A and B are shown apart, each in its own frame.
Chain A
């Protein structure tokens, strides 16, 4: 069966520090991969998606970037975090419908 892993579960970072969140999927090949950010009371905002290795599409221009170095690995990065980057970050995968989510990373910026 397919599983999705995200780490870390929680992260506290100072403003201006770099960020790297990792997501891996097991049990499937060539999945579509997605990064979402969830803010309280605002639903899920799609940040990036990828349909293959090295293929990244950005939905919202911002301080973040994404990379897909391997078929089942998706990384969310930032060179310098802003206070506004705080939130709950979710990775998801799907080969068609539906999308399946990981348990997220709670990111707090100090």
Chain B
């Protein structure tokens, strides 16, 4: 019940195209859904995050779509650029503080995005 399933494992997109990465979860206690971007040799960096009270959040070319009833959320990268080539991780955590161990993130296994010129 703690899993977050992420797909696809890898993705190749033409420059200017739309990159779409999907995640699904089972634990209904999850209340916070961040996406992280990781370049080789670096730690993951927070890209964008959403809570279930909204169905969509947009920051620049990055959009999270959230479907609470389906327990799914996705990352859309519009006008994909070669500089977006990285590994993307979705994650989820329960929001309510419940003592030690709270705010623990459960991560998907990652999607390696390659944007070709």
Contact = CB atoms under 8 A, between A and B. Distances in A.
A32 interface: yes
Contacts of B49: 97-98
Interface stretch (B63-71, B77-85, B96-104): B96-104
Interface residues of A, number: 25
A98 to B, nearest CB: 5
Contacts of A103: 41-43
Interface residues of B, number: 26
A94 B91 CA distance: 15
A8 to B, nearest CB: 13
B110 A101 contact: no
Contacts of B6: 43
B44 A101 contact: yes
A43 B34 contact: no
